[in-house]
Amino acid sequence: MNQARIIVAGIGPGSTGDITSAVIDALRHCDAVVGYHYYFPFIEAYLPADALRIDSGMKQERRRAEEAFRVAEEGRTVCVISSGDAGIYGMASLILEMKHKRGSHVEVEVLPGISAFQKAGALLGAPMGHDFCVISLSDLMTPWLLIERRIIAAAEADFITAVYNPKSDSRYWQLYRLKELFLARRAPETPVGIVRQAGRDGETTTVTTLADFDPEQADMFTVVLIGNSQSYAVGNTFVTPRGYYREMEREEGVNVGQGIMIESFRTIERELKHPDIPLDRKWAMLHAIHTTADFDMERLLWTDPGAVAEMYERLSSGRTRTIVTDVTMVMSGIRKGALQRMGIEAKCYLADERAVKMAAEKGITRAQAGIRVAVEEHPDALFAFGNAPTALMELCTLIRRGKARPSGIVAAPVGFVHVCESKEMVKPFTDIPKVIIEGRKGGSNLAATLVNSALTFNDAAQLRPGRDV
Q: What angle do helix axes 389-400 and 366-377 make, rounded to 10 degrees?
A: 40
| Distance, CA of 221 to chain centre | 29
Query: What ranges in 272-413 are assigned the alpha helix state H?
Result: 279-292, 297-300, 307-316, 328-333, 336-342, 353-362, 366-377, 389-400
Residue 466, Cβ neighbours under 10 Å: how many? 20
Maximum Cα–Cα distance across the chain:
109
CA atoms within 13 A on the CB side of 247: 18
Residue 348, Cβ neighbours under 10 Å: how many? 21
Is residue 72 packed enough to be buried (19+ CB in 10 Å), middle (13-18) or exposed (0-12)? buried
| Contact yes or no for 221/235 (Cβ under 8 A) | no
3-state secondary structure at position 115: coil
Residues 6+ apart with CB under 8 A from 188: 209, 210, 211
Residues 6+ apart with CB under 8 A from 66: 98
b/e sequence 225-248, b meaning 16+ C-beta within 10 Å: bbbbebbebeeeebbbbeebbbbb
Query: Of 130, 287, 290, 378, which residue is the catalytic one?
Result: 290
Please give the DSSP secondary-structure letter assigned to residue 127: T
Residues 6+ apart with CB under 8 A from 184: 155
| Contact yes or no for 379/405 (Cβ under 8 A) | yes
- Beta bridge partner(s), residue 286: none
User: Nearest-CA neighbor of 413 among 393, 443, 373?
Assistant: 443
Is 105 a catalytic site residue?
no
Residues that are catalytic: 290
